[in-house]
Structure 1
Amino acid sequence: MDGASDPRAAGEPDPAPDGGRYGTGLFTPDATGEDERIDYGALAYDAVTRARLAALGAGPGWRCLDVGAGTGTISRWLADEAGVDEVLALDRDPRFVRADPGGRVRTMTADITDATLAPGRFDLVHCRFVLMHLPEHAQVLQRLAEWVVPGGWLVVGDAIDLTTAQSPSSAYQRVMTAMWLALRERIGTDISWVPRYPQLLHDLGLLHVGAEIVVPPLTVDAPITAFWKHTWSGMRDALEAGPFLRPGELDDALAELASPSLAALSPGMITSWGRRS
């Protein structure tokens, strides 16, 4: 989502030398099946996110901001199931945010790295799988905290890889490692800092800071397995153009993901939260 956790430790190139970004350098919304790929990620992690937001009290009377809304699964849950009053689904390209029948989900096309962005103040600011792709993640995290009303919650989540480095040597293990290196080189993705989320939120002055990690099982029928299949297939050129893989290794790894004997642990997600005083 080290070698696998911190490519810099192995002396790899600096991130994104060409200035590429998520959604432009890779994973463009125009790519065939990109919405399906995002939905598989949502199927893998939405239950965890929903449980956390419910535990924090998300419900009637709340105004919520969903940053990097993807296909809008969390935005719609907040409106339709949690019953919040209003959700603003913010994304650089919100085309995949499907309509909310109740009309409580609005979309906003915006770049979260724009320092002039001012979407308002919210009882909940939720941001998942966004900051890991941004070199300026610290500045953006601070702005997210500023958009939370006193007494409201900031909830952030990103990928954490606790398993790849310890996995048996295989095509799957080599492709997962290569993926992190290629993402860092092409679009600046960096997950080496995400375990510091609790400290970062504390340093921003948030209270009642907490965190949890989920590591999904990697089995042949699991949504997370389909997510990795789509992700690797969608970045095939980047994986095979670099010095990371031998010819045919990506196809070998995809075959491993399709094997009924697949039984492993995927990289996972860390979620951290804090309340504004």
Structure 2
Amino acid sequence: MNPGAGDDAGGRYGEAVFRPEQAGEGERIDFGALAYDDVTLARLSALGAGPGWSCLDVGAGTGTVSRGLLRELGVERVLAVDRDVRFLAERPVPGLDLLEADVTAPDFSPGRFRLVHARFVLMHLPERERMVGRLAKLLEPGGVLVLSDAVDLTSEVAPGTPYTRAMRAMWRGLRETIGTDVSWVPSYPALLRAAGLAGVAAEIHVPPLVPGSPISRFWADTWERSRAAMVGTGLLDDDALDAAVRWLDSEECAALSAGMLTAWGRRPPS
């Protein structure tokens, strides 16, 4: 995904750190998809996504969820939105429409949908509470809004491993450079209720952090791209970051990866 918000912090996501034109960025996003797509599509299916549904996939990235909705769940149409659609354009499928746009822009109004889905998007954007309300207004009566974002599990009591030190530096560095903030993610259910949605619920998935796994490769690539921001926090230096990357691929690797909190709510049918 490649969120954005003009000149605000979130707008620097793809300019300051995770540049789409940088070699390997599409593969980095796909490693995350391999770790989370099965869980995401299972939840969307359980919520009813299927034939006849029109869907909006916000911050669609490389389009793995969009294509899964079409190919695996059989939805009728998916509008995939991103500030940079180059990865989406590389893999067209019938029923997939693309829109290059900034979802935080005042004039963003792509229509109404049975499903609005955003994964790893709002955590990078400013005015997050307002964005939840705006996305809820894009639902048809009876439609469902599904939001997924990261939750940090490197608490103060977590062992001081190379991994935990790197994760803490990453979250602080991304917050200081592009505005990423996962501290508010557990408030999703309350925000969905405040937006007038019903049947609100949430769950958390934590992929196993083992050597060679997609999520381990995702973090290694993510740390490399955010190296300057991480070292800039003063929490670690280049040598410590290199050690953390090696630790991910070692038998000593024993930690909880960041979880993915998914929350959903449905617009009342009346």
TM interval, short-chain normalised: over 0.9
Provide structure 1 residue ranges, at least 5 long, that are not aligned to the other structure: 1-15
Is 1:66 aligned to 2:57, yes or no?
Answer: yes
Does 1:128 pair with 2:147? no
The answer as to 2:205 corresponding to 1:214 is yes
RMSD: 1.6
Query: 1:236 aligns to what?
Result: 227
Which residue in the other structure is 1:99 paired with?
Answer: 91
CA distance in 1, matches of 2:221, 2:258: 15
Conserved in 2, the CA contact under 8 Å of 1:217 and 1:263?
A: no
Cross-structure match for 1:156 = 147
**Map of 2:3 onto structure 1:** none
- Displacement of 1:118: 0.6
TM-score (normalizing by structure 2): 0.93
Instruction: Tell which deviates more after alignment, 206-215 or 19-28.
Output: 19-28
What's the counterpart of residue 4 of structure 2? Answer: none
SS at 2:56 equivalent: strand
2:237 is matched with which residue: 238, 243, 246? 246
The residue number in structure 1 matching 2:40 is: 49
AA aligned to 2:21 is D
Find the counterpart in structure 1 of residue 17 from structure 2.
26
Deviation at 1:165, TM superposition (A): 3.4
Q: Secondary structure at the match of 1:23?
A: helix
Partner of 1:194: 185
After superposing the two structures, state which structure 1 stretch, 46-55 or 90-99, moved more.
Answer: 90-99
Q: What percent identity do the matched residue pairs reach?
A: 56
- Cross-structure match for 2:99: 108
Q: 1:79 touches 1:87 (CA, 8 Å); kept in 2? A: yes
- Count of aligned residue pairs for this structure pair: 261
Partner of 1:4: none
Deviation at 1:204, TM superposition (A): 0.8
Conserved? CA contact 2:173–2:232, under 8 Å: no
Measured against aligned partners, the alpha-carbon deviations of 1:26-74 in whole angstroms (never above 9, x if no partner) come to 1010111100100001011111100100001111111000000010000
Partner residue in 1 for 2:69:
78
Q: Any idea what SS the aligned residue of 2:116 has?
A: strand
* 3-state SS in 2 of match to 1:217: coil
Partner of 2:27: 36
1:32 aligned counterpart, secondary structure: coil
Letter in 2 for 1:28: R
Structure 2 partner of 1:182: 173
Q: For structure 2, which runs of at least 5 residues remain unmatched after alignment? A: 1-6
